[in-house]
């Protein structure tokens, strides 16, 4: 394999990592660890009691299949070789190298060499007599496998020497954790160990792909884009297998009507391109008269905070209709903000701040995520959590354009799930 981790030097950090690996291997209390996407809550995927510990800590019913994390292809092949061929596995422990190449379906080989270690999960057949605990696969004949590229994750899994089942390390329904503090906030008292690797690089979960179906499918958008996938041999015809914007309802939904996911305490109001804008009255009806509103702006281009004039120099769309949709979206969002929040200091809008309106009882806490899509992905979950800490009553999010690519689509996919009320655009 083209990557390796050495734990030869015994520093306090490696001692702690070894201790965490020991817990992962032997305890039924899961261990939180960083990955390049989001923090994971890991357990030995071969032990039911350990996997159940994940659901207990997250306070979530165990109805979803979990992704299984490996430190190397060798470790993955070892799992796949067990039980898939009784003759081999019983006589030799596991299959020989030449044969084990075939254990991973050929369709995945180009993806593995290009994207692993990295934010990609592949769906594999679960061998008969698999060592994986049934709680991991939720009764399916397949399982999701991934090799993360975070060095601490790789070291932990390698040292524990077990396949590691790990969903995101948040409490059920909350935004995924992209920093160790987020995990501590949600799971304090429920777990014993968090490995702190600083903020996550990518910020949204891995892309999940199914190469066992024809054509191959993207089951969840994430860190690897569909364009990147389609450029790989055998993946040219890859299709989207999750609900995209067009398939999702655009009607405003009452709070509590939908299953909550990625949600902060405050209801999320997502302002989406191509949908009709809410009136100020509608929003006031929804939120009441005396409220503090959190706003996450994505500043795809500059808006004058006073005049609704839009500086459109950074909007580039060859499609005229799309261009005017984008302009209208931005103008609508700016207008909405202005009607709630009259500031005379445009520079202040660039900072996280709170503004007391002079002629109403609305307050605003604003987090600008900037225009870069990778930065937006990296910051979106943390922004939702930060506004909860500010104790806002609702969070107004300026959506981005799905057509900007898969990272944008991944962000919007998560935001649509988080949103309690879908308005606008």
Residues of the shown chain interacting with ligand TXA in the complex, contacts defined by CB under 6 A: 35, 37-38, 40, 64-67, 121, 123, 137, 140, 142-144, 148, 166-168, 205-206, 208, 219-220
SS3 category, 402:
helix
Non-local (6+) Cβ contacts of 350 within 8 A are 368
Q: Which does 100 bind (CB under 5 to 8 A by kind): Mg ion, ligand TXA, none?
A: none
Shortest distance (Å) from residue 165 CB to ligand TXA: 7
Q: Which does 144 bind (CB under 5 to 8 A by kind): ligand TXA, Mg ion, none?
A: ligand TXA
- In the complex with ligand TXA, which residue's Cβ is closer, 219 or 310? 219
CA–CA gap between residue 389 and residue 90 (Å, rounded): 55
Write the DSSP string, 129-154.
T-SS-HHHHTT-SEEEEE----HHHH
Q: Are 81 and 204 in contact (CB under 8 A)?
A: no
Partners of 300 in the β-ladder: none
* Residue 284, preceding peptide bond in cis (omega within 30° of 0): no
Shortest distance (Å) from residue 296 CB to Mg ion: 20
Shortest distance (Å) from residue 120 CB to ligand TXA: 9
| Alpha carbon 27 to chain centroid, angstroms | 27
- In the complex with ligand TXA, which residue's Cβ is closer, 138 or 403? 138
CA–CA gap between residue 158 and residue 152 (Å, rounded): 10
Whose CA is closest to 200, among 119, 277, 132? 119
**388: how many CB neighbours lie within 10 A of its CB?**
18
Q: Are 155 and 80 in contact (CB under 8 A)?
A: no
* Residue 172, preceding peptide bond in cis (omega within 30° of 0): no
CA–CA gap between residue 315 and residue 209 (Å, rounded): 32
SS3 category, 378:
helix
Shortest distance (Å) from residue 123 CB to ligand TXA: 5
- In the complex with ligand TXA, which residue's Cβ is closer, 65 or 197? 65
Residue nearest to Mg ion (CB): 168
- In the complex with ligand TXA, which residue's Cβ is closer, 80 or 208? 208
What is the number of alpha carbons within 13 Å of residue 58 lying toward its C-beta? 31
Shortest distance (Å) from residue 60 CB to ligand TXA: 10
Shortest distance (Å) from residue 205 CB to Mg ion: 6
- In the complex with ligand TXA, which residue's Cβ is closer, 45 or 349? 45
- In the complex with Mg ion, which residue's Cβ is closer, 172 or 250? 172
- In the complex with ligand TXA, which residue's Cβ is closer, 37 or 72? 37
Shortest distance (Å) from residue 259 CB to ligand TXA: 13
Which residues of this protein are in contact with Mg ion, per CB under 5 A? Answer: 168
- In the complex with ligand TXA, which residue's Cβ is closer, 144 or 305? 144
Shortest distance (Å) from residue 37 CB to ligand TXA: 3
Residue nearest to ligand TXA (CB): 40
* Rg (the chain; Cα; Å): 23
Token pair listed for 276: 């009709």
């Amino acid at each position: 394999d083209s990557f390796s981790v050495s734990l030869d030097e015994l520093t306090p950090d490696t001692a702690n990592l070894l201790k965490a690996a020991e817990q992962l291997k032997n305890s039924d209390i899961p261990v939180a660890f960083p990955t390049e996407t989001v923090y994971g809550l890991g357990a030995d995927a071969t032990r039911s009691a350990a996997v159940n510990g994940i659901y207990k800590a997250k306070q979530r019913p165990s109805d979803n299949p979990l992704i299984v994390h490996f430190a190397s292809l060798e470790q993955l092949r070892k799992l796949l070789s067990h039980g898939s061929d009784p003759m081999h596995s019983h006589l030799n422990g596991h299959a020989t190298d030449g044969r084990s190449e075939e254990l991973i379906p050929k369709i995945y080989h180009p993806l593995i060499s290009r994207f692993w270690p990295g934010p990609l999960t592949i769906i594999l057949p679960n061998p008969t007599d698999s060592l994986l605990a049934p709680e991991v696969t939720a009764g399916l004949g397949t399982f999701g496998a991934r090799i993360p590229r975070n060095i601490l994750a790789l070291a932990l899994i390698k040292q524990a020497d077990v396949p590691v089942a790990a969903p995101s390390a948040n409490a059920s329904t909350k935004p995924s954790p992209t920093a160790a503090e987020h995990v501590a906030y949600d799971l304090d008292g429920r777990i014993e160990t968090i490995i702190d690797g600083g903020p996550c690089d990518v910020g949204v979960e891995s892309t999940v792909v199914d190469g066992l179906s024809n054509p191959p499918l993207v089951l969840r958008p994430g860190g690897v884009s569909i364009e990147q996938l389609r450029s790989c041999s055998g993946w040219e015809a890859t299709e989207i297998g999750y609900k995209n914007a067009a398939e999702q309802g655009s009607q405003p939904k009452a709070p509590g009507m939908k299953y909550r996911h990625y949600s902060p305490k405050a209801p999320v109001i997502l302002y989406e391109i191509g949908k009709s804008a809410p009136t100020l009255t509608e929003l006031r009806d929804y939120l009441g008269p005396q409220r503090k509103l959190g706003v996450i702006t994505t500043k795809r281009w500059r808006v004058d905070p006073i005049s609704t004039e839009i500086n459109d120099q950074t909007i580039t769309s060859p499609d005229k209709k799309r261009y005017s949709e984008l302009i209208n979206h931005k103008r609508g969002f700016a207008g909405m903000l202005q009607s709630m929040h009259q500031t005379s200091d445009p520079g202040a809008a660039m900072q996280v701040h709170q503004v007391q309106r002079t002629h109403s009882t609305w307050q605003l806490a604003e987090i600008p995520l900037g225009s870069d899509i990778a930065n937006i992905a990296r910051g979106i979950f943390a922004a939702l959590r930060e506004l909860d800490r500010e104790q806002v009553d609702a969070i107004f999010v300026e959506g981005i354009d799905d057509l900007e690519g898969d990272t944008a689509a991944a962000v919007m996919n998560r935001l649509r799930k988080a949103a309690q009320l879908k308005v606008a655009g």
